[in-house]
Structure 1
């Protein structure tokens, strides 16, 4: 039952993520709002990468970031970031579909070089917060990036100011 609900939200929100990533023009990839922020390419790539964390989060009780390796690929073109997203979202969907609901309340934690980065927390809470909500947060940032660079923002929860009604 929980798996079905997670999968439904995942599929709906993955489509919204797809829309916003597809709205990024190559001309906006190097833009960033300040020296402390990521570029649009880095932010979009991070959004795509979060989908790569689903398998470890659903299937392990400890995610070792010290051993984690990920190839972001070529982020110099928006289409490459979208392709990486598609690859990762397919793996994430499979991780949810193959997950065992009996493990959803197991404690999960993130470590790096023996240090705890994310304390033991029920896996279902990590799935909702670290995976799902984390993506929504960064998608919101990406909306601001698109607006700030004069680009259109696709509707994710209804029309945007760019839609003519």
Structure 2
């Protein structure tokens, strides 16, 4: 039952993430709101990368980020990021389809080499926080980036403010 709910949410939210990433314009790909922020392209690539992490989170008991060699395109290439996103969504979907409600109760740990950075926690808690909520957090940041650069923000949960006032 929990897995079915996660799958339904995943499918719904993937479409919203896709719309948001498709709204990232090449002309503003290097925009960053502060010196310590990612560029718009780096943020888009990070969002796409989170979908890759579904596999390690849902299929491994200990996920070592240091051992994972992920090939990404250049963050300045939004088309490469969109392709990367789509490939990662397919991997994430397969990983979600392979889990059970029982496996969501099993302990899970993230490491970077010898250092534990998250967990051990029940895999289901990690799925909600590190995967689903993590994506939503960064999508919110992307909306701020788009608005700060004067770009149109797609409606993710109905019309945006700008759409509702007739802009």
Name the CA distance, whole Å, in 2 between partners of 1:94 and 1:84. 16
Name the CA distance, whole Å, in 2 between partners of 1:87 and 1:162. 32
Q: Which residue of 2 aligns with 1:7?
A: 7
Q: Which residue of 2 aligns with 1:127?
A: 127
For residue 87 of structure 2, give the secondary structure of its aligned residue in structure 1: helix
Name the CA distance, whole Å, in 2 between partners of 1:79 and 1:112. 29
Name the CA distance, whole Å, in 1 between partners of 2:65 and 2:76. 25
For residue 18 of structure 1, give the secondary structure of its aligned residue in structure 2: helix
For residue 24 of structure 1, give the secondary structure of its aligned residue in structure 2: coil
Name the CA distance, whole Å, in 1 between partners of 2:35 and 2:72. 22
Which structure 2 residues correspond to residues 3-152 of structure 1 after superposition, within 5 A? 3-152=3-152
For residue 119 of structure 2, give the secondary structure of its aligned residue in structure 1: strand
Q: Cα offset for 1:74?
A: 3.0
Name the CA distance, whole Å, in 1 between partners of 2:162 and 2:47. 23
Name the CA distance, whole Å, in 1 between partners of 2:104 and 2:77. 37
Q: Which residue of 2 aligns with 1:154?
A: 154
Name the CA distance, whole Å, in 2 between partners of 1:68 and 1:162. 41
Superposition RMSD in Å: 1.2
Deviations 1:12-46 (Å, cap 9, x if unpaired)?
A: 11110000000011011100001100000000000
Q: Cα offset for 1:102?
A: 1.9
TM-score by length of 2: 0.95
Report how many residues are paired: 165
TM-score by length of 1: 0.96
- Contact (CA 8 Å) 2:42, 2:76: kept in 1 or not? no
Structure 1: runs of 5 or more not aligned: none
- Contact (CA 8 Å) 2:64, 2:110: kept in 1 or not? yes
For residue 111 of structure 1, give the secondary structure of its aligned residue in structure 2: strand
Structure 2: runs of 5 or more not aligned: none
